[in-house]
Structure 1
């Protein structure tokens, strides 16, 4: 007998909860904010909206279905199943945080605070959940398959991200490495920079776009479903030993960016989650390109 579908609600601790946890009580948190000219009610109201959204989605889950909840900080320890329907309640970035841990499960993004979030990935309201849940489970129609980026190290460590992958020093200091494009005549350049950013069309609404604009928009941004990535070297430093020729480009579905570490320690992390990073030491190499898996986001 097959298992009943399971809804996995993904959420994150609210700012209000973090404040109360840090200061001990609501009153102490309110005093702290008031001493800095802020009113805790603004933060508390956003907290209440998020809790209402979670309650509305929970109420919409069919009675015969199973359900579970996972907080963002616990995503790397949560086991998703093939029969899951994943419902992310919160901000756009929370969808990206969850994406790397999935393997084709449909994802419904619920905007807990309409008007505050761009709504690129959290496209729906809590009241939509009752209709979206059965539809997401029943068929693959109405799903956008968003391109993801992956980094694979020579020791088989692997990292997947929806928006972008950053490779560089942990504290964003100078990173030293050799950079090259596979199948490009073997051209390799020694570089010293603030790191390398490789992003998708979904990431083109965030960090990747800011770097792209800074560079004068010479390259066309990819679409979220397009099998194409953009990469940029941040603040490459010219010296007798390091160059600045390979600083930006496009990666097709079969192309790979190849980086060999020449620092004591570099890291690679995705979508801003530095706590879940690849550790790279001197002499190690890593390949970055389009990921075979896609995020299946309900439109």
Structure 2
């Protein structure tokens, strides 16, 4: 007998909840904000609205289904199952934060605050939840975009995937030292000193990756979200007698990998801004970056 589908509702703490956790009471949080020219009323109203949306989404889960909730900070400790349908209630960035922990489960993005979010990944509203869940678990499957992801694999088998981009460098973004090249041309690898390397997807081309692309005055064309092509940039490469700047940008397709060998005491690789969940790399270690076999199945 197969298990009933499980709806996993992913959310994050609101600004109001963070204020209460820091200051203890509503009154103390109100005083803190007022001393900085802000009103707690708007913050509290957004909190209550977000909680109502989350409750509406939970109520739309079919009765025969199982359901659970997971907060953003607990994602790295949560075990997703193959029968899960993941419902992300929040902002676009929360979908990216969740994607790295999935292995092909369908994802429904619910915009908790329409008008404040771009809605690129949280494409739906709370009243759509029931219909989307039934479609995701139906016999004919569901219509979903297969969004390309990027992966980093270290020589000690550590692996990291991300929906937008992977940053590799020093934890504080200070100068990183490493040797960079491609697997297709290992003899052309170059020793570099920079503030890190960024490898991103078409989904990430609306954020950090795009800012670098514009800063460089264009460069390789940005990929589409479902296109199996990545763009990479070296940030602020520093020329010296021992380091070069000839390899500072490029593209990677399915069969291509960027190869980086660490020549610093400690570098990290993290995805989509989640620095708390990073690969730890040290002297002599090699990490390869490229298109991941895993895609994000985002319902349209």
**What is the TM-score with the length of structure 1 in the denominator?**
0.99
Partner of 2:272 in structure 1? Answer: 271
Distance 1:200 1:93 in 2: 14
| Superposed CA offset, 1:205-258 (max 9, x none) | 111111111111121000000000000000000001000000000001110000
Distance 1:26 1:84 in 2: 37
Measure how far apart 1:117 and its partner are.
Answer: 0.6
Residue 130 (str. 1) matches residue 137 (str. 2): no
Query: Which consecutive segments of 4 or more residues in structure 1 shift more than 4 A?
Result: none
Partner of 2:146 in structure 1? Answer: 145
Partner of 1:37 in structure 2? Answer: 37
Distance 1:16 1:185 in 2: 51
RMSD: 0.8
Structure 2: where are the runs of 5+ without partners?
none
| Superposed CA offset, 1:155-187 (max 9, x none) | 000000000000000000000000001113631
Partner of 2:221 in structure 1? Answer: 220
Residue 5 (str. 1) matches residue 5 (str. 2): yes
Partner of 2:182 in structure 1? Answer: 181
SS at match of 1:140: coil
SS at match of 2:107: strand
Q: Is the 8 A contact 1:90 1:113 kept in 2?
A: yes
Distance 2:154 2:75 in 1: 22
Distance 2:8 2:219 in 1: 41
Distance 2:221 2:265 in 1: 35
Question: Counterparts of 1:72-151 in structure 2 under 5 Å?
Answer: 72-138=72-138, 139-151=140-152
Partner of 2:19 in structure 1? Answer: 19
Residue 193 (str. 1) matches residue 205 (str. 2): no
Distance 1:185 1:205 in 2: 31
Question: Counterparts of 1:54-65 in structure 2 under 5 Å?
Answer: 54-65=54-65
Residue 158 (str. 1) matches residue 164 (str. 2): no
Measure how far apart 1:101 and its partner are.
Answer: 0.7
Q: Is the 8 A contact 1:111 1:123 kept in 2?
A: yes
SS at match of 2:27: helix
Measure how far apart 1:203 and its partner are.
Answer: 0.4
After alignment, is 48-57 or 161-170 more displaced? 48-57
Q: Is the 8 A contact 1:106 1:137 kept in 2?
A: no
Distance 1:95 1:224 in 2: 14
Measure how far apart 1:140 and its partner are.
Answer: 3.3
Residue 168 (str. 1) matches residue 138 (str. 2): no
SS at match of 1:242: coil
**What is the TM-score with the length of structure 2 in the denominator?**
0.98
SS at match of 2:187: coil
Question: Counterparts of 1:236-275 in structure 2 under 5 Å?
Answer: 236-275=237-276
Distance 1:12 1:150 in 2: 25
